Amino acid sequence: MLNLILLGPPGAGKGTQAKLVQDKYKIVQLSIGDMLRAEVAAGSELGRQAKQIMDAGALVSDDLIVKMITSRIAKPDCKNGFIFDGFPRTIPQAEALDTMLKDSGIKIDHVVEMRVDDEAMVSRITGRYTCAKCGAGYHDTLQAPKAGGICDKCGGREFTRRADDNAETVRTRLKAYHAHIAPIAGYYAKNGVLKGVDGMAPIPEVTRQIAAILG
Ligand code: AP5
């Protein structure tokens, strides 16, 4: 079993790397943002509560997030391990995670902090889009599909952009991240599991640095 947390600001490459780790290590990516967006698309009560907050770039309440995670990590596909992408984002979330894991006898093996330059994140995010069919991620200039307009993975021809991927909201999301990250990084540094990677390096190099940590 391998359990991993990816920390990093919006655009750091958490989702990009989590998908690669998922494929290589056969563990499941738990993207809290994707889970919330699925709730929004389904029109659930949780989705209704989360939508406005996400569109504004603020953090959804700890209670809702913790409830969602508690039921998610109990599912059978988590039995080989998981990668948290976008969780925890506050100290109460980190503490709640510890309690959850203690109750089920599971531990976090590595916390990888992706260190990047904020200004570069704005252009990474505003150029990002995903395949509407399989969810593969692309970027207008940094990572375009090999054959223009056709998804490399599934051949899909329709792509979507997130509602919160505009410059103004990205800046609010960056502020929300920085308001909480220092104590969270400190929390995991104290437990001896925190490692850093250079998130400004090209994608394959970041993957290599993460693989070196995971072993
Ligand atoms: P979430 O969906 O988690 O968004 P985020 O944290 O803002 O992160 P992103 O998904 O935008 O960035 P990423 O690091 O995954 O970057 P990516 O790999 O796509 O959260 C959305 C919202 O949900 C939050 O604002 C909040 O409201 C709510 N929420 C979520 N979790 C919560 C929680 N725990 N508590 C409360 N609220 C919560 O990469 C970006 C682009 O860059 C891509 O186009 C990619 O191709 C490119 N790229 C990636 N790596 C590189 C590289 N090394 N070099 C060049 N380009 C690269």
Predicted confidence (pLDDT) per residue in 21-34, tens digit? 999 999 999 999 99
* Residue 123 φ/ψ region, left for φ over 0, alpha for ψ in the -120 to 50 degree band, beta for the rest: alpha
9 CA from centroid of ligand 1 (Å):
7
- Tell me the catalytic residues: 14, 89, 128, 162, 173
Residue with the smallest CA separation from ligand 1 atom 56 is 142
pLDDT tens for residues 124-159?
A: 999 999 999 999 999 999 889 999 899 999 999 999
Please give the Cα distance from 89 to 8 (Å, whole number).
10
The DSSP symbol for 11 reads T
For the record, the structure tokens of 205 come out as 């190099």
Task: State the CB neighbour count (10 A cutoff) for residue 210.
Answer: 23
67 CA from centroid of ligand 1 (Å):
21
pLDDT of residue 167: 95
Please give the Cα distance from 135 to 151 (Å, whole number).
9
